[in-house]
């Protein structure tokens, strides 16, 4: 079974790729860029993911362009609901690429994170599946949180300190001062 896995970054991809391969899936990654700010941070995460992909024979499709402006336009005045919009954007983009590439299903490394709203991601994945006609493969990858963290540290992978957008960067650092 061919699965397209939305990969938000290298560290969060380790455990989901391992599990999906153990389930007998042919896994390919999809790196969505518009929500990762600033651009230099996006490149750093992309390079980290690509280096990991190269060493594990994990093919990754990288989203073209960098529509930071479009992402912000979607969020402005709806900042308090921004993660829901962001999940929807990322999962829809993944499902559309999966449909075009004739994958059997799609999933996301967001289901690995202890810091994301897991239930909302699952609901949105299922809604996007209905809208696009591509099956959503749900798995609670949080069970492997420690495994992924340990491995990413062992191989000295870059581990980001905030979720991705400028809002999350502010939340991470502004409170300190």
| Binding site residues, ligand SF4, CB under 6 A | 35, 82-83, 86, 163-165, 167-168
In terms of CB distance, is 18 or 158 closer to ligand SF4? 158
Least separation in angstroms between residue 164's CB and ligand SF4 is 3
* CA count, 13 A, side-chain hemisphere, 82: 16
What's the DSSP call for residue 161? S
Distance CA 137, CA 99 (A): 14
Q: Which residues pair with 30 in a beta bridge?
A: 6, 61
Contact yes or no for 114/147 (Cβ under 8 A): no
Least separation in angstroms between residue 118's CB and ligand SF4 is 12
Q: At what angle do helices 82-100 and 68-75 cross, to 10 degrees?
A: 130
In terms of CB distance, is 29 or 164 closer to ligand SF4? 164
In terms of CB distance, is 25 or 108 closer to ligand SF4? 108
* CA count, 13 A, side-chain hemisphere, 59: 7
Least separation in angstroms between residue 70's CB and ligand SF4 is 13
Least separation in angstroms between residue 144's CB and ligand SF4 is 20
In terms of CB distance, is 90 or 103 closer to ligand SF4? 90
């Amino acid at each position: 079974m061919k699965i397209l896995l939305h990969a938000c970054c290298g560290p969060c991809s380790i455990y989901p790729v391992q599990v999906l391969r153990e389930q007998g899936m042919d896994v390919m990654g999809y790196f969505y860029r518009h929500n990762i700010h600033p651009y230099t941070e996006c490149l750093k995460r992309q390079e980290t993911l690509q280096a990991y992909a190269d060493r594990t024979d994990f093919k990754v499709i990288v989203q073209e362009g960098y529509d930071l402006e479009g992402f912000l336009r979607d969020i402005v005045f709806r900042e308090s609901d921004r993660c829901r919009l962001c999940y929807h954007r990322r999962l829809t983009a993944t499902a559309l690429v999966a449909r075009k590439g004739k994958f059997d299903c799609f999933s996301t490394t967001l289901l690995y994170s202890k810091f994301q709203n897991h239930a909302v991601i699952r609901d949105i994945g299922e809604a996007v599946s209905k809208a696009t006609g591509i099956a959503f493969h749900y798995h609670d990858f949080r069970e492997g949180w420690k495994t992924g963290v340990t491995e990413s540290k062992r191989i000295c992978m870059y581990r980001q300190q905030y979720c991705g957008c400028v809002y999350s960067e502010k939340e991470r650092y502004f409170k300190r001062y």
